[in-house]
Structure 1
């Protein structure tokens, strides 16, 4: 098992892509921290699923936009499993509106979570990751950060911002042999996609060369690879998992 004895913190792990990542990392032997902000029941469902499969996990509440809560999460992680060795920055939100209807509050809220949360979590767990033998930082972006998307100026800006952050932090972590990489998923079958009207989904699929939406496992498998020793010579990379969409 590639991740045996590793401690992996996955933010926003109570549902969707984050849940899939948490379950996949646990299946590879990692101790997994299932972070959530408000979906307590769903987070404990993830922990139960992992434990029933023979894995080890805990659920920890923390709003990634609040650095005090992230600091408190780190203490719980250390008490349960020791220092984190892998951090998956997955938590994010959307507040979708045409730019002409978007308020500064709409803009700031998405910035605070999607970029501010990345800063908070990376800052708090930075020493743990760089002190680890095989420290890994994995940021979850989006094809929207590469292509843009109508009504998502705030979200697209945060997701493209992760590219520059990942490349820069990879340089700063390299001396310690820790790596930092970014996964940019395409359109994934999650409850968020289910809210998109069928006619819009059909138009999106027409833009995907492979002719289908991603499964959560498609993304989780890539994250598992990046967390493992198999990726030890890969850092600062932006990995598009999008079915062949151009950008």
Structure 2
């Protein structure tokens, strides 16, 4: 049965993969034989560290730096993927930056930036890569979502709005791409064991907060990034070909979202 999770010959891009969930996904697929493309906004040292780890698992790996939603970055990813591997089979739209500001303090520039970085970026990735997937008769698109996309967030209105729009984009793309063998799904990691910057997640730097949050989760702990990565592998496997337009909640039962 292991052959169903063997991605030898497939190529995957994960945006925002210098650390945390993105890094775990890269290494999950590298261990399963895929060619991997690592993307990070600015920290090249982190990205190169992921590349070295992926190559240590036997994968062929590329690093492309820059904002994942920018036209020139997507063009570079596309050109390098085609030159090195032929085409892209899978991408995970994972890059996201969160702000911590009330609605009244959020600026027009911040609104535009966060929508572009997450929602518009995912639109552009689809425009760039799904045509070749359709032609090949196979493709997997995963959008990394989260509770903010369902519940909103007063201190992160642009981010929450982008995530809500991402859910609609997932369903829209799934409805049109399915006949070509391309599936599009969301993953909701809930609270996970990631590195969080104090500027974007100040609450997690308050003593005792993480423990309080964990106590309210049915499994009594945060989700492991490796668990999210395995959910990605499952969704990209041949045996998940009938799952599209869906949400996989890897959140320990925290939100019980339908």
User: Under a length normalisation based on structure 1, what TM-score does the superposition of the two structures give?
Assistant: 0.94
Aligned partner (choices 25, 29, 32) of residue 29 of structure 2: 25
Aligned partner (choices 191, 196, 199) of residue 192 of structure 1: 196
Tell me which residue corresponds to 1:209: 218
Tell me which residue corresponds to 1:87: 91
Structure 2: gaps (5+ residues):
none
Contact 1:62 1:69 in 2 (8 A): yes
Displacement of 1:217 after TM fit? 0.4
Aligned partner (choices 97, 117, 120) of residue 116 of structure 1: 120
Tell me which residue corresponds to 2:242: 233
4+ aligned runs moved over 4 Å, structure 1: none
Tell me which residue corresponds to 2:64: 60
Contact 2:39 2:68 in 1 (8 A): no
C-alpha separation between the residues in 2 aligned to 1:146 and 1:198? 27
Contact 1:143 1:184 in 2 (8 A): yes
Structure 1: gaps (5+ residues):
none
How do 1:64-83 and structure 2 match up within 5 A? 64-83=68-87
Contact 2:190 2:250 in 1 (8 A): yes
Pairs aligned (count)? 247
Deviates more, 1:118-127 or 1:75-84: 118-127
C-alpha separation between the residues in 2 aligned to 1:217 and 1:10? 14
Displacement of 1:131 after TM fit? 2.2
C-alpha separation between the residues in 1 aligned to 2:34 and 2:207? 38
1:167 aligns with 2:171: yes
Contact 1:47 1:58 in 2 (8 A): yes
1:41 aligns with 2:45: yes
Displacement of 1:130 after TM fit? 1.7
User: Under a length normalisation based on structure 2, what TM-score does the superposition of the two structures give?
Assistant: 0.90
C-alpha separation between the residues in 1 aligned to 2:138 and 2:39? 22
Contact 2:140 2:184 in 1 (8 A): yes
C-alpha separation between the residues in 2 aligned to 1:64 and 1:13? 11
C-alpha separation between the residues in 2 aligned to 1:122 and 1:104? 26
Contact 1:187 1:193 in 2 (8 A): no
Tell me which residue corresponds to 1:4: 8
